[in-house]
Structure 1
Amino acid sequence: MESLESELDRARNLDVSVLADAVESIGFECTRCGACCKSEADDPHTATVFPDEVRDLQDATDRDWRDVARPMPYGLREGPDGPEGETFEWALETDACGDCVFYEEADGDGTCTVHGDRPLLCETYPFSVALGGTSQPMGEAVDEAGMVRAHECEGLGRDISRADAEAMARTLKERAIRELTEAVGVRDNYDPADVDTGAGEVVVHDSEGPKRSDGTPR
């Protein structure tokens, strides 16, 4: 298995034109169906958001940390007073229906209310770069090298301009570098927490160290 540092070097050396070729070959145009922002099969929407992205969204919306992001649910258990335990990273907050809290729908069209400040994961959907240590949609490879993958999405296969394909490619590279930098930070700052079972405590480990569920350092 390649080290995170080796994968980070690979991410930094990605050829944007090659990534753009892959994106252009399959094509994409957002149809505003909202599928990527809504819960699926009763599972709440789960999109990774990093600490700096949470703060950017706080600045854009004047919301508290808890109103922007929640602890990633994986690894947590249900205690008498709600989720408890340790987890890694943050997910965008959801509403009572399990949809992204920033998603709105009118007349069948979905709208992201923070579109200009949306996290890199959202900005690059439905594509991802297949490097170890990155978040990869469970999709099919769209290039011969298997580097660019695409999640199932009704917007795939639609015409895309070269300029838009290159813009997507640049953001894909930025996301891969960002995710691997974050992964290195999580590893280096990981401090196992002594969580009091039954006390309803949640500890989130991100690149800045362990935090409480409200985003404050633990």
Structure 2
Amino acid sequence: MESLEAELDRARDLTVADLVDAIESIGFECTRCGACCKGYTPKADDDVADGDGAGVETEDDRSHAEPHTATVFPDEVRELLATLESNAAGDGSAGGEAGEDDADDVSGSEYDWRDVARPMPYGLEESAEGEPAGETFEWALQTDACGNCTFYRETDGRGACTVHEDRPLVCRTYPFSVALGGTSQPMGEAVDEAGMVRAHECEGLGRDISRSEAEDLAEALKRRAVRELEEAIEVRDAYRPSGDIDGVVVHDSEGQKRPDGTPIDGDRTERS
């Protein structure tokens, strides 16, 4: 297996034109079915920990549905928080770029980190008190009581994203991924491929796509591959064991954090 640094070099060397050709050959048009934004019932052979997005949902039985799980990075969380603040203020402007300092701008508002993101569930266990505990890596988009993405809305069977212009890269590029180690894959096996591009289960596959739309997708797909590998390297380098910290610890590229996104620096307590 190639090192993360080697895979990052490969991601940076991806040719957008080649990705465009691959996406065009596969074909795609979003039907707004919402499957990639909703909780789902995994098939027996699904490996839930393998990637982002949605698996195969059954209409008749949601009793064993898994919540929607899509990776979101710290800078994307802050951008979405800025978007929520902007929308609440009614100024109509999108969130746009948001840096680390912008976290202070929203910390005293009605929104906080948990309105956008939750700890990635993989690796967490239930404590004796019935609360989640343990350590995990990265964040997932927050979900509602039905297990759907918190930003998903549906009207007359047609889905919509309330933060569409500022949605994370994993959402912008669904149902595609690139065949590079260290990058995330949408839930389930690839059902089609062309060159370095893999396409995962989605009812919109195989439909005509314009060259300009394919170019937008390809550019976002390359940005996502580079960003995911940069993040993976930063998480690896920032990691330190959290064995003596109570509750849930999330490791991301900025260090250790609580579920509300606050850094743990110096906040160490002995486990009982």
Q: Within 2, Cα distance between the matches of 1:167 and 1:17?
A: 11
Mind listing any 5+ residue stretches in structure 2 that lack a counterpart? 42-64, 86-110, 265-272
Q: Is 1:142 paired with 2:193?
A: yes
SS in structure 1 at match of 2:185: coil
| Matches of 1:107 and 1:140, distance apart in 2 | 29
- Deviation per CA, 1:163-188: give whole Å up to 9, x if none: 11111111100000000000000000
Q: TM-score, normalised by structure 1?
A: 0.95
Distance 1:140 1:210 in 2: 36
1:34-183 pair list within 5 angstroms: 34-41=34-41, 42-62=65-85, 63-79=111-127, 80-137=129-186, 138-143=189-194, 145=195, 147-183=196-232
Taking the aligned partners of 2:193 and 2:151, their CA distance within structure 1 comes to 30
Please show how residues 193-212 of structure 1 align to structure 2 within 5 Å: 193-195=242-244, 201-212=247-258
Q: Distance in 2 between matches of 1:195 and 1:163?
A: 52
Name the residue aligned to 2:267. Answer: none
The structure with the largest alpha-carbon Rg is: 2
Give me the whole-angstrom Cα distance separating, in 2, the residues matched to 1:86 and 1:166.
38
**CA distance, structure 1, for counterparts of residue 25 and residue 192 of structure 2:** 11
4+ residue runs over 2 A deviation:
none
- Name the aligned partner's letter for residue 190 of structure 1: Y
Cα gap change, 1:123/1:163 in structure 2, threshold over 3 Å: closer, same or farther? same
Q: CA-to-partner distance for each residue in 1:62-112, whole Å, 9 max, x for gaps?
A: 321011000000000012242110000000000000000000001111010
Asked if the contact 1:86–1:195 (Cα under 8 Å) also holds between the matched residues in 2, the reply is no
Q: How far does residue 140 in structure 1 lie from its aligned partner after superposition?
A: 3.1
Partner of 1:213: 259
Q: Give me the whole-angstrom Cα distance separating, in 1, the residues matched to 2:211 and 2:115.
A: 37
In structure 2, what is the Cα distance between the partners aligned to 1:181 and 1:172?
Answer: 14
- The percentage of aligned residue pairs carrying the same residue is 70
CA distance in 1 between partners of 2:71 and 2:234 (Å)? 15
Counterpart amino acid of residue 91 in structure 1: A
Determine the C-alpha separation between the residues in 2 that align with 1:211 and 1:64: 14
Q: CA separation of 1:16/1:81 partners in 2, compared to 1, >3 Å: closer, same or farther?
A: same
SS of the aligned residue for 2:233 comes to helix
Structure-1 separation of matches of 2:244 and 2:120: 16
Deviation at 1:195, TM superposition (A): 4.4
How well do the aligned residues superpose, as a CA RMSD in angstroms?
A: 1.0
Unaligned segments of structure 1, at least 5 residues: none
- The answer to whether the Cα contact below 8 Å between 2:192 and 2:200 also exists between their aligned partners in 1 is no
Q: Do the aligned residues in 2 keep the contact of 1:126 with 1:152 (CA within 8 Å)?
A: yes
Question: What's the CA shift string for 1:30-49, capped at 9, x where partnerless?
Answer: 10000000000100000000
Instruction: Using the TM superposition, give the Cα deviation of residue 194 of structure 1 relative to its aligned residue in structure 2, in angstroms.
Output: 1.8
